Each structure stands twice: as C-alpha cells, then as structure tokens.
Amino acid sequence: MEYRGKAWRFGSNIDTDAIIPAIYLHTSDPQILGKHCMEGIDPGFPKKITAGDIIVADENFGCGSSREHAPVAIKAAGISCVVAKGFSRIFFRNSINIGFPIFESEEAPGKIANGDELIVDSDKGVIINVTRKEEYKSIVYPDFIKSIIVKGGLLNSIK
Amino acid sequence: MGMTITEKILARHAGKKEVLPGEIINARVDLVFANDNTGDLAVDQFKKAGFDKVFDKNRVIFVADHFIPPKDVSCAEQSRRVRVFCREMGLSNFLEVGRVGIEHVLLPELGMIKPGDVIVGADSHTCSAGALGAFASGVGSTDMAAAMAKGELWFKVPETIKFVYKGTPGRWISGKDLILYTLGQIGVQGATYKAMEFSGEAVEALTLDERFTMANMAIEAGGKNGIFHVDQKTIEFLKPRVKTDYEIVSSDPDANYAEVHEYDVTDISYQVALPPSPGNVKSLSDIGNIQIDQVVIGCCTNGRLEDMRVAAKIMRGKETNFHIRTIIIPGSQEIYLQALQEGLIETFIRAKAAVSLPTCGPCAGLHMGILGEGEKALATTNRNFVGRMGHKTSEVYLASPAVAAATAIKGYISTPEEVM
Ligand code: SF4
C-alpha cells in the first residue's frame, strides 16, 4: 500500500489527551471525534489538513490512556497514516486493530519538516520525501499485522 | 533457556512450551473487562462485527466507574447501552453504582484476578492486576470486542525489565514513592512495550495495596504489564476471595532480561511528579513552596484501604487548610464500608474533607472536582498531563497519600513530619 500526503510535524510524547481531550469521550461517533482531532495541542487542526495528509511525530506517540477514540479521531479527520520514531503500545495496538496504518521509523521524523510531501510505501518499508528528494527506512510489519490492516481491522480478520 | 514470569504465563496461554520476546502469539484470556466509557465502544464494535454471543458469560465484566452516577445525558446513555447489551447477552456482570468500585480496585477484591491469569481490560491501568502475579494488560475497545467474542487475543511477547529494590525506606515512604522514583529514573518511555518485573526485599515488605499502586503505574513508563511474584502476603489476600485453584508461576533463575535496575531505597525521600508528566519526578525537598487549591486522595492508584488509613492517621484531629478543597474517594464500596467502620470517614469529615462515593471522579477530568484556570491540585492519581484534571492551564502534582494528607492540612505541598 502507498500513502501520500503532506507532513504535519509533532514532537515527542503526544498523549491521548492531546489527540482527543477527555471531554469528547462521551461519544464514539468517528465524525464528531474527527472534528476534534489534535484539539489538545493544535485546535483547528482538522480544518487545516487535506485528506491523505500524514502526521509525523517523534517518540512515544499516543501515550496515556487506552482510549481508542484517539486513532479513530485521527483516521476520521482524514489522516492517511502516522509516522513516528515510536508509539505507545496501546495506541499501536488500537491503530492496527481498527485498520489504521502507523509506521515506526527511527530515521524519518528527524529529517521531515512540516509541509513536506511524503509517500509511504508500506510493503517496501520506505518513506519517500518528495520535497527533499530523500528516502528513509521504515518498519515492515509481519504478515500477521499486515493482514489485519488489509482486512480493515482485527474484527474483520477474526470473523 | 529460562523464561520470565511474563513469558511463562503467555506461553501457557498460547499452548506453547516456550515463547521468545518479539514473537506474536494468540493467547487465551481468563478475564475481559471494560468500563462505562470504553465499554460502549467495545459493545458497538462487537455488534457491528456481527457477533452475537460472548465466549464465556462469567469471564466478561463491565464496571461502571468513570462517570457514575451518570453526570449528564450522554454518559447516562453510554451506561444504558452497555446495560442493555449485558441483558441481551445474558451477562449478570454489569456492575453499577452501589455495587461497584474503580475497576482495578474492585476486580481483585471480588476474587476475579488469579495468579498466572491472562487478563485484558479496555483501560490502560489494567496492569494494576499484576500485583497478584497475573499478566494483565490494557487494550483498546476493538481488542476488547475481539477478546469478548473469541476468548483469545494476539500479543507480541514483551521483553522484561527487572527492577530490584533493596533496603528499608523511611516511615511514611510508600509504594507510590518507589514507583514515582522509578519513573523519574527511567522516564515515561523507559519500559515501552516491555514487561516490568518488580522484586527485591523492599517490595516484599510492601503491603498488597502498595504493590497494586506500583503495578498500576507501569503504564506510565509505557510498560505492557507490571508484575510481582506471589508470596505469603499474596496468598493471604487471595484466600478469602479466590475459591478456585490457581497455579503459581515464577521467573526462572536463568531467565533473560532486557535490563536490570537495582535501587537502594533506604534513603529515598517523598517523591512528587511535577506537571505535565508522571516522569517529571523530584524529591519533595527540592521543589520549594507550592501552594495548592485542591487535594484528591483516591483513584485506582491510591484509593485502597491502606491509603485511607494512612491519610486518616495524618489528618486525625486536625482541620484541612481553609483554602484547600480536599476530596477523598474510597476505591470501592467494600473499602468505603471498612473505612466507615474503622472511623476513617468520620476523621475525614471532621477534618472538613469531602468524602465521595467510589468513582474515578476528577482523576481524568471527568467530574466531581474539575480544576479551574490556573488551579493546582496535589493528587494521589497517576497522570498529570496538561489539562488532565480540568482547565488547560491547571496543574496536577502526583504524590503519595501521606504527602496528600499533609498537604491538605498545610495548604502547600508538605511532608507528614510537618504536621505530625
Ligand atoms: S481512577 Fe483514573 S486512572 Fe484509574 S481507571 Fe479511573 S480514570 Fe483511569
């Protein structure tokens, strides 16, 4: 699979309260959650992005609570994937389980600036920075995890 | 080669002789639970996927603890949907206000957690149950739905970090100080994806309640689970609660650890995590004079009986500072009742503290003690991210029940020695 879009840069330890503040936990409607995506750190974020754009962050993205509302909000806002140096483990599971692709890359985040045009090739495990004409390595997931994403999430894959 | 307690439990539940860190396995789960918030999403996913029954009616539990009694219509609706689902599925395990407590306090109390179990809960602090020698890990709602349907779930076997605590800490130094100290040492990503195994003479000396506190905050270091070995104290705790057999599992002497950290805790002082991170930990003596607006004693970290006892001992016969709102939240109905019988509740009320029914309360900024602009709270909870307890300019300081009780009396962050 290929994901293409503009990079939106965030730092380290972006926690789930920043991704979707607790005041919106009363709902599980993706449409509503998507409208408040990243509100704890960048209010108005969903209005600025174009469908397909990519969030790029440093360490420990998605730390904090187990709320699945976080990847749901990011996906519903139109973000195609997240690239980070590392993810918190529950956020990682939740994303895979809802069929939302996220990629670990030690190298890429440090070299990507806000607004860079990116192509993430999940099969090859590469991230192409179209703006800077650079290429970075990213993780290639084991087939088990790939198949969950391809089937659109864990529940579809175990049915 | 030998295996750690975590690896052994996972291997057994995957029907394998041996597992290696990094390996992806499908493991049987012994208990699956969610709360009034995550439960709704899990139920939704479960239904959307077209499942019509749970794998075992006795092993799926919903605990209403986050917004109880419901604080508004949408919370009431979340609870209602889960309640209806449980009735449809024939589950008798939807526990509500009046029969309930904070999930991580309540489930061990009800005897639902056994050593050697694999437990998943749709809540990040599920790791608390590791205090009883179980593998317990927080998952999301989709995981919860899948586990509810199939009674099994995928896991990546974590590497283990071993923590060895030596020495004998001072009078009021508790498990909370030990875990905060640990977070200060390794940071909030210090154990990402990893198992945290707590051992050593200093943790053997801890009460079970304090071990729950430590296991509870494993997630604050990014840990997949926190785990203790079963000892005589664990067995005493389990005796009146768990009626079925269980198997005691322990790490092999030649088990492989990703890291080993040894701490001598003889001289550690009161630990405080400053906003906005549970890893931003300092000794209380190094933080200066910090005036506080609200003290909260409770939460799945420190809402247990021992915590109530410590707080009452320090507050007995005194009055909380006039400028402080003190909110005390026993973690379960059983703890509330016990605290009442021991006179602890009376102590709190006479000290002009407010005592709440068991709930998560303000811990996650949900209700019953939200902070206003620029307000500061000292809480026995586990997280102090920006805006965690209310307004985005408000701040949360994390500490032990002893420090919280002393702070309630003084009005600024203080040690028990200052008021005793
Ligand atoms: S007390 Fe706080 S940390 Fe514990 S389960 Fe409730 S909201 Fe989560």
pLDDT at A27: 81
Cβ of B141 within 8 Å of Cβ of A59? The answer is no
Compare all CA atoms of chain B with the CA of A91 and give the residue at the minimum distance: B140
Beta-carbon contacts of residue B337 (< 8 Å; ≥ 6 apart): none
| Rounded Cα distance, A155 and B48, in Å | 9
Task: Indicate whether B21 belongs to any domain.
Answer: yes
- Centroid of ligand 1 to alpha carbon of A48 (angstroms): 33
In a domain, B1, yes or no: no
Q: Report CA(B377)–ligand 1 centroid distance (Å).
A: 16
The mean pLDDT value for B79-107 works out to 95
Instruction: Identify the closest residue of chain B to A98 by CA–CA distance.
Output: B142
Identify whether residues B254 and B292 lie together within a single domain.
no
Taking the CA of residue B264 as centre, how many other CA atoms within 13 Å lie in the half-sphere pointing to its CB? 2
Cβ of B41 within 8 Å of Cβ of A27? The answer is no
Q: What is the rounded distance in angstroms from the CA atom of residue B117 to the CA atom of residue B125?
A: 16
Tell me which chain A residues have a C-beta less than 8 angstroms from the C-beta of B225: none
Statement to judge: residues B200 and B339 lie in one domain: no
Residue B341, classified by CB atoms within 10 Å of its CB into exposed (0-12), middle (13-18) or buried (19+), is exposed
Looking at residue A54, its pLDDT comes to 98
B400 assigned to some structural domain: yes
Going through B96-224 in order, the beta strands assigned E by DSSP cover: 118-121, 135-138, 152-156, 160-166, 195-199
Identify whether residues B148 and B217 lie together within a single domain. Answer: yes
Answer yes or no: do B91 and B221 share one domain: yes
In the block, which residue shows the tokens 């990116």?
A: A118
Boundary (domain end) residue, out of B236, B263, B290? B263
User: Rounded to an integer, what distance in angstroms lies between the CA atom of residue A73 and that of residue A22?
Assistant: 12
Same domain for B205 and B156: yes
Is residue B327 situated within a structural domain? yes
Best probe residue, ligand 1, of B35, B36, B38, B66 (max atoms within 8 Å of C-beta): B66
Please identify, among B263, B298, B332, the residue that sits at the C-terminal boundary of a domain. B263
Does residue B268 sit within a domain? no
**Chain B hits for A93, Cβ within 8 Å:** 139-140, 143
Cβ within 8 Å of residue B307, ≥6 positions away: B209, B213, B297, B298, B380, B401
Rounded to the nearest integer, the mean pLDDT of chain B is: 96
Question: Phi-psi bin for B216: left (phi > 0), alpha (psi -120 to 50), beta?
Answer: alpha
- Condensed to tens digits (0 to 9), the pLDDT of residues B291-350 reads 999 999 999 999 999 999 999 999 999 999 999 999 999 999 999 999 999 999 999 999
| Number of domains chain B contains | 2
Say which of B46, B192, B387 has its CB closest to residue A40.
B387
What backbone phi and psi angles, to 5 degrees, belong to B226? Answer: -120, 140
Model pLDDT, residue B221: 96
Residues of chain A with pLDDT under 70: none
- B42: domain CATH number is 3.30.499.10
Q: What is the mean pLDDT of residues B193-197?
A: 96
Q: Kindly state whether residues B56 and B123 are assigned to the same domain.
A: yes
Number of residues that this document lists for chain B: 420
Do B230 and B110 have their domain in common?
A: yes
- Residues B25-83: pLDDT tens digits? 999 999 999 999 889 989 998 999 999 999 999 999 999 999 999 999 989 999 999 99
What integer pLDDT is reported at residue B92 of this predicted model?
A: 85
Q: Which of A15, A68, A90 sits opposite B385 (nearest CB)?
A: A15
Residue A84's pLDDT is what?
Answer: 97
Q: Are B314 and B389 in the same domain?
A: yes
> What lines the ligand 1 site, CB under 6 Å?
B 66, 102, 123, 125, 299-300, 360, 363-364, 381-382
B245 and B342 in a common domain = no
Residue owning the nearest CA to atom 4 of ligand 1: B300
> Residue B2: inside a domain, yes or no?
no
In a domain, B332, yes or no: yes
pLDDT on residue B405: 98
- Same domain (yes/no): B34, B123: yes
Pair (B259, B297) in one structural domain:
no
pLDDT above 90 for B141 = no
Q: How many CB atoms lie within 10 A of CB B385?
A: 23
- Work out which ligand 1 atom sits closest to the CA atom of B364: 7
Single out the residue of B363, B358, B370 nearest to residue B332, CA to CA: B358
- Chain A residues closer than 8 Å to B142 by CB: 68, 94, 97-98, 153-155
Interface test with A, best of B142, B188, B189 (most A CBs within 10 A): B142
Residues of A in contact with B366 (CB under 8 A): 22, 25
In a domain, B78, yes or no: yes
Domain end (from B229, B263, B297): B263
Which domain covers residue B16, as residue numbers? 8-263
CA distance linking residue B233 with residue A119, whole number of Å: 56
Same domain (yes/no): B292, B324: yes
| A148, closest residue in chain B (CA to CA) | B154
B370-386 tens-digit pLDDT: 999 999 999 999 999 98
Read off the pTM.
0.92
